[in-house]
Amino acid sequence: MNIVAVAACTAGIAHTYIAKEKLIKGAKARGHEIKVETQGTIGTENELSREEIGAADVVIVAADIKIGGEERFKGKRIIRVKTETVIKAPIKFIEKVEQSLGVSS
């Protein structure tokens, strides 16, 4: 599965980057490709390209705030989750994403 994600928290610091790392860990553990954009106090990092979004099977928005640029994902399957969920159980979360899409790794 090809995943793109955006991570953002209220402070835009700690949970944003922890969620990014956990999403990557969970996706890789399940055999998936992933690219994670972060939106925080220092702006947007690792911004997702139009091509990456177009090739994605699913968009994960791991955020505790409203993210910017969500219109880029129009027509894509979007799964929204709090950063805490992916931080606490990244592999279990990715397994749930797989189940919701009818995909196995």
Mark whether 9 is an active-site residue: yes
- Which pLDDT belongs to residue 103? 85
- Is the pLDDT at 104 greater than 80, yes or no? no
The per-residue pLDDT for range 27-61, each reduced to its tens digit, is 999 999 999 999 988 899 999 999 999 999 999 99
Question: What is the pTM (predicted TM-score) of this model?
Answer: 0.95
Domain 2-101 fold is: Rossmann fold (3.40.50)
User: CA 81 → CA 7, 50, 51, 96, distances in Å?
Assistant: 10, 22, 24, 11
Q: How confident is the model at residue 83 (pLDDT cuts 50, 70, 90)?
A: very high
Please classify residue 6 by burial: count the beta carbons closer than 10 Å to its beta carbon, then call 0-12 exposed, 13-18 middle and 19+ buried. buried
- Which pLDDT belongs to residue 41? 84
> Given 6, 7, 9, 19, which residue is catalytic?
9
41 dihedral zone (left: phi>0; alpha: psi -120 to 50; beta) = alpha
